[in-house]
């Protein structure tokens, strides 16, 4: 059994760890509230904009909208992987990284697959296996729509130039603080709504339908990428808050066990001292 000093040192060390994890939990909880509000307010707008664009694009032929909706034979694929810059958030990053690797293995065997990473953790690990054409770790320093739009424009140009036949997003979709859903979402080409042939002809489009599509396409794609990064950002703070809560609980249990061990060892030491004193007194009397 460890001596009392060693146990006291371990208890003090665990107490310091508890203070750190508890503080990190509170910081993540404060950031989560703001990030959660941002994504929940944005999601309905993004979903409706995407639905409208898909409906309109499915009725157009020729060059209008074709740049971003034309289906090509898939030979070159770009996957945009969204992770975080920091760890200590449970399985948040590993789920995206493992999901990306497995998805490529299952669906794109024998094809050229490149990555564009957003977040340091994903880049550090996936760059060992895949070709990473760009890495944007700094986006979290100032996460605004305008900054994300610049990245979206680069991705859109790669598709328009024919360098990639398909582009997909992989990220954690925020459900609640304890649950994040690894999501794989097609970015380009724009996929028409399944089962939809034509938009209701009762609508009157002003300006013309092609002009509306040309205006909506860039905005919709930029919004889709921004929503994915916002989803991941909220998921990161939820995962970190949950992880730090569990770490604090585990540290508390370990501290309680050590306190019990310390008290037992201290009681045993006191008992031995009493026995020695009694034994010495009896020896003197004899």
Residues noted as catalytic: 89
- Residue 143 vs residues 45, 47, 154, 234: alpha-carbon distances, Å: 18, 20, 17, 12
Instruction: With CA atoms as reference, report the closest residue to 139 among 130, 152, 129.
Output: 152
Nearest-angstrom CA–CA distance, 127 and 73: 26
State the Cα–Cα distance between residues 140 and 271, nearest whole angstrom. 60
How far is 143 from 38, CA to CA, in rounded Å? 11
**CA trace torsion 142, 154, 130, 141 (10° rounding):** 0
Residue burial 227-247, b: 16+ Cβ < 10 Å; e: rest: bbbbbbbbbbbbbbbbbbbeb
């Amino acid at each position: 059994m460890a001596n009392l000093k060693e146990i006291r040192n371990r208890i003090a060390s665990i107490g310091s760890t508890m203070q750190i994890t508890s503080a990190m939990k509170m910081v993540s909880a404060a950031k989560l509230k703001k990030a959660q509000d941002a994504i929940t307010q944005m999601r309905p707008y993004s979903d409706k904009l995407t639905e409208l664009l898909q409906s309109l694009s499915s009725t157009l032929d020729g060059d209008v909208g074709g740049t971003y909706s034309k289906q090509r034979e898939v030979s070159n694929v770009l996957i945009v992987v969204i992770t975080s810059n920091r760890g200590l958030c449970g399985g948040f990053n590993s789920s995206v990284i493992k999901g990306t690797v497995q998805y490529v293995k299952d669906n794109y065997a024998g094809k050229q697959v490149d990555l564009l990473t957003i977040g340091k953790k994903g880049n550090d690990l996936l760059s060992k296996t895949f070709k990473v054409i760009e890495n944007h770790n700094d986006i979290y320093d100032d996460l605004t729509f305008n900054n994300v739009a610049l990245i979206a424009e680069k991705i859109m140009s790669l598709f328009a130039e024919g360098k990639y036949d398909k582009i997909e997003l992989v990220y954690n979709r925020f459900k609640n603080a304890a649950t994040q859903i690894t999501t794989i979402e097609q970015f380009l080409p724009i996929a028409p709504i399944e089962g939809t042939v034509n938009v209701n002809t009762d609508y009157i489009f002003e300006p013309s339908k092609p002009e509306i599509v040309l205006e909506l396409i860039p905005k919709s794609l930029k919004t889709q990428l921004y929503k994915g990064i916002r989803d991941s950002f909220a998921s990161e703070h939820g995962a970190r808050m949950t992880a730090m809560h569990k770490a604090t609980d585990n540290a508390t249990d370990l501290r309680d066990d050590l306190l019990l061990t310390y008290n037992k060892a201290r009681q045993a030491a006191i008992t031995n001292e009493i026995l020695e004193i009694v034994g010495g007194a009896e020896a003197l009397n004899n």
